[in-house]
Amino acid sequence: MKQFILVFVIISFSVLFAQNKDTTENHAPVFVKEIPDTTVSAGNAIQFSYKAIDSDGDSVKYFAESLVPTNSFFNSADGKLIWRPSLLQLGKNYIQILSTDGKDTVLSRIAVITVLDAMTSDGGFRLYVDTKPPDGGLVLRSFTSTSATLTARANKDYRFINWSNENSVLSSDSIYTLPIKNGLFENDRANIFANFRVNHAPVFVKEMPDTAIMATTKYLFKYEAVDPDGDSLKFYPSTPLPKQSVLLENGLFGWVPSNNDFIFANKSEVIVYVTDGNLKTFSRKTTLRIREVSSIGENSEIPKQFSLSQNYPNPFNPETTMEFTIPVVDANFASTTNHVTLKVYDVLGREVATLVDEYKQPGNYKVIFNVKTSHATSLPSGVYFYQLRAGSFIETKKLVLLK
């Protein structure tokens, strides 16, 4: 009986010892290789393989169930991490993974990965971009696994010219794309310059004058501007244009006002602007007034050529009347305003009176020259000349003042 009890105690102790061995002798894995704190360029792929060992010889697996970037790839079997940070991840990012032998789990240290702008860093696929001059503008960039896209934005008073490297011009388009192969640019390096220049605003050299336009008559005027930098220019309305009028990008304004325009809105104001694609210049405000067709003449005939009639009476004292005609330029009544001057000169060619100095629509006109009410009140008796200028048309006639 004593022998039986002794055997039972020994067996029970052995079982208890074995159970205790199963619960106390398992050891958790231990990391022997962890990603260090590091700096990486945006768009540059980094790879790192974690490694943990188990003193009990158990197989080890890894899991990215803690802190990992959203666009990273992690292999649980071998602990390999692959990550290409984007520009949206500039700054500090944190990585931590876990390892397990199926029984116990251990966390790696928290690694701090600082992502820099690839344009200013010297890591990974090296991409250096400078602006010339430095204050000429800025460069926006985006990355994919196969390319880097650069976008140039000029600062105020500057204009983008082109992209270049040390040897040649790469592109004159403000958006430039570079291919990436195996995480590298060609020759493992890219040196690029975004070139800008000072930009000057366009300058108007011909602006539409205040004008009276006959209803139902086509009116044309071409704005003109120059650009100090030689840039191409386009014209656009700054204020609402009159109904049924048009302004082309080359500066040509056209309008055929109707009789209804005369009745209901016989005045329009127009401002346009010219741009080189970057800077704008605004024109003066032009007032366009509409007059009835009948005002062109009592016989309602549309004039077809310039003319200057002999004044009447002649000789005169104190006043005389001069008539002149401004024609349309084609059968469709298309016309532009003409700058018209009508001046009086003495026999020595000195100007003694200006009767007209303004833009005129096609039509028949009368002007009265009165030596008592005009600027020529001190004129003595004698021979004088009056001259009409309209575009390339010039005509001169003689008049005689008798006091």
**Lookup: tokens for 179:** 């291919």
Half-sphere exposure of 19 (CA within 13 A, CB side): 6
| pLDDT for residue 41 is more than 50 | yes
Tens-digit pLDDT profile for residues 248-282 = 999 999 988 876 655 445 678 999 999 998 899 99
Tens-digit pLDDT profile for residues 194-211 = 899 999 999 999 999 988
- Residues 247, 262 contacting (CB under 8 angstroms): no
Query: What confidence tier does 323 reach under pLDDT thresholds 50, 70, 90?
Result: very high
In the predicted model, what is the mean pLDDT of residues 342-362? Answer: 88
Distance CA(116)–CA(129), nearest Å, equals 14
| pLDDT for residue 331 is more than 50 | no
Query: What confidence tier does 144 reach under pLDDT thresholds 50, 70, 90?
Result: confident
Instruction: Give the length of the chain.
Output: 403
Residue 198 identity (one-letter amino acid) = V
Among 364, 378, 377, 379, smallest CA distance to 321 is for 364
Domains, the chain, ranges and CATH?
A: 30-116 (2.60.40.10), 126-198 (no CATH), 203-295 (2.60.40.10), 297-401 (2.60.40.1930)
Of 16-20, 93-97, 119-123, where does the model show the most confidence? 93-97
Percent residues over pLDDT 90 in the chain: 35
Strand, helix or coil for residue 86 = coil
| pLDDT for residue 75 is more than 70 | yes
Residue located via tokens 């990008």: 249
Burial bucket for residue 387 (CB in 10 Å: 0-12, 13-18, 19+): middle
Distance CA(66)–CA(137), nearest Å, equals 41
In the predicted model, what is the mean pLDDT of residues 325-342? Answer: 68
Percent residues over pLDDT 70 in the chain: 79
In the predicted model, what is the mean pLDDT of residues 287-300? Answer: 58
| pLDDT for residue 31 is more than 60 | yes
pLDDT at 308: 94
| pLDDT for residue 338 is more than 80 | no
pLDDT at 60: 92
β-pair type (224-226, 46-49): unpaired
| pLDDT for residue 19 is more than 70 | no
Among 178, 173, 126, smallest CA distance to 152 is for 173
Residues 6 or more apart from 323 whose CB is under 8 A from it? 308, 309, 364, 365, 366, 367
User: 318 preceded by cis ω (within 30°)?
Assistant: yes
Q: Is the pTM of this model over 0.75?
A: no
pLDDT at 392: 87
Distance CA(231)–CA(253), nearest Å, equals 21
Q: Which residues pair with 117 in a beta bridge?
A: none
In the predicted model, what is the mean pLDDT of residues 45-57? Answer: 89
Tens-digit pLDDT profile for residues 170-189 = 899 999 988 776 555 554 44
Buried/exposed 18-54: b ≥16 CB within 10 Å, e otherwise: eeeeeeeeeebbebeebbeeeebbbbbebebebebbb
pLDDT at 286: 93
Q: Which residues pair with 246 in a beta bridge?
A: 254
Distance CA(202)–CA(215), nearest Å, equals 33
Distance CA(342)–CA(369), nearest Å, equals 11
Tens-digit pLDDT profile for residues 111-134 = 999 887 654 433 344 566 777 887
pLDDT at 32: 92
